[in-house]
Amino acid sequence: MIRRPPRSTLDRLSAASDVYKRQGIFTGKPAYVWISNQIGNNGILTGFQRLDGTTSSPLYTRGFNPDPDAYKPTTVTGAPASSYELALTDPNFKFPQVWRSNVGVDQKLLFGFVGSAEFLYSKDINGIYYINANQTAPNSAFTGPDARPRWTSSSARKIYSKVDNAVVMKNQDVGYYYSISASLEKPFTDNWYFKAGYNYGIAKNTVDAGSIAFGSWNNNQHSGNPNNPGVGFSFNSPGHRVFGALSYKLEYFDFGSTTVSLFIEGITQGNASYVFSGDMNGDGGTSNDLIYIPKDQSEMNFEEYTVGTTTFTIDQQKAAWDEFINQDEYLAENRGKYAERGAVFMPMVFRADLSLIQEFYTNFVDRKNSIQVRVDVLNITNLLSKDLGVGDVFTTTTPLTYRSVDAENKPLYRLTNVGGKLITSTFAPSANINDVFRIQLGFRYNFN
């Protein structure tokens, strides 16, 4: 392993050029909650009742009751539970480790500028993924352009009927991450400071593991067999980031100073997946089936439905879905394919912050002290125009609701409607605290 200690801007200025690299195997503090799942889900300590069936079922009358004994069984025989969950760990499981390499260069340029570039690459050595050991192989498949495998019933997908699921935590070595960065900096001289930079990164894995084994497996989005989901985009995949910072400080002899700073940033807002609403392939998950993106209207198979007094015909849904695909950059570029997990990246949002710092100097016990008054205008872009600095949200990530199969064994679905109208656009403006300008006023006394 080759290591290089962190270097400040002043250190970099001492040499015209500095090339460095690091590589090695890295690990962090283990997430012990992954192991604790098998303590709580062992088929013995806990049991559950599934509240499903018809609305006339007595189970539906069960509401909240503060009495902890209200729903306890009247007799306890010690017999095994009628059904139970298992959380297991592969005996060869190792906590995550990654191989990480990076190479970078800092170069002193003309007029005192410093240019930097860096490439970072990481690959899973002991990554994490899950299988359901009680899940059978699919016993059927759809026909037509979307011919993915499926299970025809809940009993058909269980090896042992009493075991609701048996999720096993295992290792994989196919996940990876890379990042490319570049920046240009003018260290603080002559009361000026400037820096601008760009970064682009991609992260892919088999699952973004959570704290619950079953949820991590069941909610992992795929287009085939959940026990072999393949590699997809992590929901921590960073995308693009660009930024710029500019600062100027004006000194008034020994009386005080004024500093004006501007920070501008543009970032990819996040990513998501397009999935069916409902358990499309019968694997037991209701929001984990990635959609198939049709080549044209001939590959669509809609069901007519009515909401209130409005009926959405098959032809209306075909036309609306075709238009929705055309206006969506990801869908339009991937017709005839299954959507990839996490591959729908939101557009970049650009915001700027402005800071004004006024300092007044004074001497106290022969030392220079200062009183500082600071005004920060966060997201000043939105102050300039109500349409600037505003982020986005997905209109929906479940554009299709799975219904059943038709007479030809093709999947049948409905197009999502919002407010009684079929969906027309991928994004809508978000409405949170970061989308509006804010003004902060601060006071500070500095003891020097």
What is the reported pLDDT for 4?
A: 41
pLDDT of residue 1: 33
Closest CA to 379 of 370, 388, 367: 388
Tokens representing 342 are: 């996490």
**How much is the pLDDT for 2?**
34
- For every residue of 192-244, DSSP letters joined together read EEEEEEEEEEEEEES----S-HHHHHHT--BSS-TTS---EE-TT--EEEEEE
Q: Which pLDDT tens digit goes with each residue over 33-50?
A: 998 888 888 888 655 566
Region 82-95: mean pLDDT is 92
- pLDDT of residue 55 exceeding 70, the answer is no
From CA 168, how far away is CA 34, in angstroms rounded? 11
The tens digit of pLDDT for each residue in 73-88 reads 777 777 777 888 999 9
Mind listing the pLDDT tens digit for each residue in 365-406? 777 788 899 999 999 999 999 999 999 999 999 999 999 999
* pLDDT value at residue 342: 97
Q: pLDDT category, 189, cuts 50, 70, 90?
A: confident
Considering the entire predicted model, what is its pTM? 0.85
Mean pLDDT of the chain: 90
Greater confidence, 53 or 377?
377
Q: For residue 57, what pLDDT is reported?
A: 57
Q: Average the pLDDT over each of 2-6, 268-272, 334-338 and give the range with the smallest value.
A: 2-6
- Alpha-carbon distance of 403 to 412, in angstroms, equals 6
- Strands 276-277, 400-405: pairing kind: parallel
- At residue 363, the pLDDT reads 77
User: What percentage of the chain carries pLDDT values higher than 90?
Assistant: 71
> By mean pLDDT, which of 4-18, 278-292, 376-390 is the weakest?
4-18
**Residue with the larger pLDDT of the pair 408 and 188:** 408
Residues 145-154 have a mean pLDDT of 94
Neighbour-count burial of 447, counting CB atoms closer than 10 A to its CB (0-12 exposed, 13-18 middle, 19+ buried): exposed
**pLDDT value for 17:** 72
User: How many other C-beta atoms are found inside a 10 Å radius of the C-beta of residue 49?
Assistant: 12
Q: What is the pLDDT of residues 319-331, one digit of tens each?
A: 999 999 999 999 9
Q: What's the confidence (pLDDT) of residue 60? A: 56
Write the pLDDT tens digit of every residue in 206-262: 999 999 999 999 999 999 999 999 999 999 999 999 999 999 999 887 788 999 999
DSSP codes joined into one string, 414-445: EE-EETTEE---SEEE--SGGGS-EEEEEEEE
Q: Residue 87 burial (CB < 10 Å; 0-12/13-18/19+)? A: buried
Query: Are 225 and 217 spatial neighbours (Cβ–Cβ below 8 Å)?
Result: no
The pLDDT of residue 53 is 57
